[in-house]
Amino acid sequence: MENSQQMRLLHQPGSLLVSLQHSTEQQLFTRPAEGKWSIFDNLAHLGRYQQIFKERIELILTGSEPQFARYVAEEDPEFARWQHKSPDELLQDMQSERFDLNHFLSSLTDEQQQLKGSHPVYGNLTIEDWIEFFLLHEAHHFLTIFKLAANLRGAK
């Protein structure tokens, strides 16, 4: 795994603290529009997706070059369970899941990181590519959370 990926896996979640430091619990649950996710929904998705991502990497490690369907959170009963956690429990569980994920990914050999699985949009990706996708996907949601928090604070 590239050094930049290791650093982002370790430190990228810390940016959430900056985005959330002035948010109230009510703001966490405020939806920006009908059918759109709140800050809390985005956090629940990220927490659950860490588990999904690890499961996918474990399947890739079988060497069978699995093909994955697009993950749709609303169709996942476990996502709903993440949405029913308290904010403190959710953040604590996210942190715990991330620790486990980082430990798991850091144990992979260079050879294992070259194993492939197929993404429905981006095609056949190595585990190293999957890690990059995971980090970019997460960063996209962090930006969404940052924007939602700023809008709720009345930023222009």
Given a cut of 70, is residue 109 above it in pLDDT? yes
C-alpha–C-alpha distance, residues 107 and 145, integer Å: 30
Residue 155, φ and ψ in degrees, nearest 5: -70, 150
Asked: is 39-152 a CATH 1.20.120.450 domain? The reply is yes
Amino acid occupying residue 24:
T
pTM: 0.94
C-alpha–C-alpha distance, residues 108 and 112, integer Å: 6
Sign of CA dihedral 74, 77, 80, 86: negative
| Domain positions in the chain | 39-152
Instruction: Tell me what pLDDT residue 156 has.
Output: 45
Interval 126-151 mean pLDDT: 97
**Tokens, residue 55:** 């499961």
The pLDDT tens digits of the residues spanning 47-97 come to 999 999 999 999 999 999 999 999 999 999 999 999 999 999 999 999 999
- The DSSP 8-state label assigned to residue 123 in this structure reads E
Q: How many percent of the chain have pLDDT more than 70?
A: 99
